[in-house]
């Protein structure tokens, strides 16, 4: 078990992960803190690693709910049959896991394609790299 896992609950870790993505969005808005295509490739690689773990996490969450239902630990807040709702949640988690697999595959393609990008060399004294205002 990692040090993080020994000091935080699963809900706290999930909240931190969500916050990290929000901060990443803020830092990369409009190119923000990005400096090279290598930054893009590194971020995509990290997102790919996240995506690789999401299907397993969705499966584990579904398994937990099944056990909770089987042990009589769940009830529907409106008094309805809890089994139907658990089935609905499990199916949604399975769909989320499949979507994560597709996202991860797309990120792997992105990372592979971005490996071919390198910084442009200055041509004829013009300044390259200024977004939308390259010297001509």
Show the 3-state SS of the chain: CCHHHHHCCHHHHHHHHHHHHHHHHHHHHHHCCCCCHHHHHHHHHHHHHHHHHHHHHHHHHHHHHHHHHHCCCCCCCCCCCHHHHHHHHHHHHHHHHHHHHHHHHHHHHHHHHHCCCCCCCCCCCCCCCCCCCCCC
Tens digits of pLDDT across the chain (136 residues):
677 778 999 999 999 999 999 999 999 999 889 999 999 999 999 999 999 999 999 999 999 999 999 999 998 888 888 999 999 999 999 999 999 999 999 999 999 999 999 888 866 655 555 555 444 3
Delimit the domains of the chain by residue range.
8-112
Q: Is the pTM of this model over 0.85?
A: no
């Amino acid at each position: 078990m990692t040090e993080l896992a020994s000091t935080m609950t699963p809900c706290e870790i999930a909240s931190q992960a969500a916050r990290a993505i929000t901060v990443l969005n803020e830092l990369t808005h409009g190119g923000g803190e990005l400096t090279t295509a290598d930054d893009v490739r590194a971020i995509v690689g990290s997102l790919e690693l996240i995506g690789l773990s999401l299907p397993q996490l969705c499966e584990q969450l579904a398994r937990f709910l099944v056990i909770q239902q089987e042990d009589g630990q769940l009830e529907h807040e409106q008094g309805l049959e809890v089994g139907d709702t658990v089935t609905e949640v499990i199916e949604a988690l399975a769909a989320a896991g499949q979507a994560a697999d597709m996202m991860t595959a797309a990120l792997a393609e992105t990372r592979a394609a971005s490996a071919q990008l390198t910084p442009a060399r200055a041509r004829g004294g013009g300044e390259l790299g200024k977004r939308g205002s390259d010297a001509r």
